[in-house]
Amino acid sequence: MHLRNDPEKHQQLVEELLSIFRDLGYRILGADGVGGVPRAQRLHNDGYGDQEDKEPDLYAFDAQQERYIIGEAKTGDNDFETEHALTQYNVFLDQFDKKTGRQAMLYVIVPSPRVPEFNSLITHYIHPDYWESIVLVSSKLQAG
């Protein structure tokens, strides 16, 4: 399991994103550390980074768009550019619905002061073809 620099802040972000998913009407399939919700399953790594399958913080399904929704919380406390994180982004963007073939959407929630830093990172590390499948969420939580 991956160790976090600030597990309390991370959990607050997970719960904030979970609330957003529920407001959007997504069916919650898994969540990290949320009572009454099972953990998300590890998603297959098809050869990225550290080669390990990755468990998202949130896993949901959007019935209207017929696609899976993956949620990831990042505190900005040295967790944007680790090998683990860079592998997560690629693994999560490489998930497709078996019935429809639709690519999963990746929601990443970060504290609002960290949005520009994360946005710059994504445009540097992630291929432009995948940008439209990423939703960056600015949290109400303040950085550090």
Instruction: Report the CATH number at residue 44.
Output: 3.40.1350
Establish if 30 belongs to a structural domain: yes
Other C-beta atoms closer than 10 Å to the C-beta of 79 total 19
User: pTM score, two decimals?
Assistant: 0.93
Domains in the chain: how many in total? Answer: 1
Establish if 144 belongs to a structural domain: no
Establish if 2 belongs to a structural domain: no
Establish if 1 belongs to a structural domain: no
The SS3 call for residue 112 is helix
Q: Find out whether 95 and 43 touch, Cβ atoms under 8 Å.
A: yes
pLDDT single digits (tens) 25-67: 999 999 999 999 999 999 999 999 999 999 999 999 999 999 9
Establish if 41 belongs to a structural domain: yes
Q: Find out whether 57 and 69 touch, Cβ atoms under 8 Å.
A: no
pLDDT single digits (tens) 70-79: 999 999 988 9
Establish if 80 belongs to a structural domain: yes
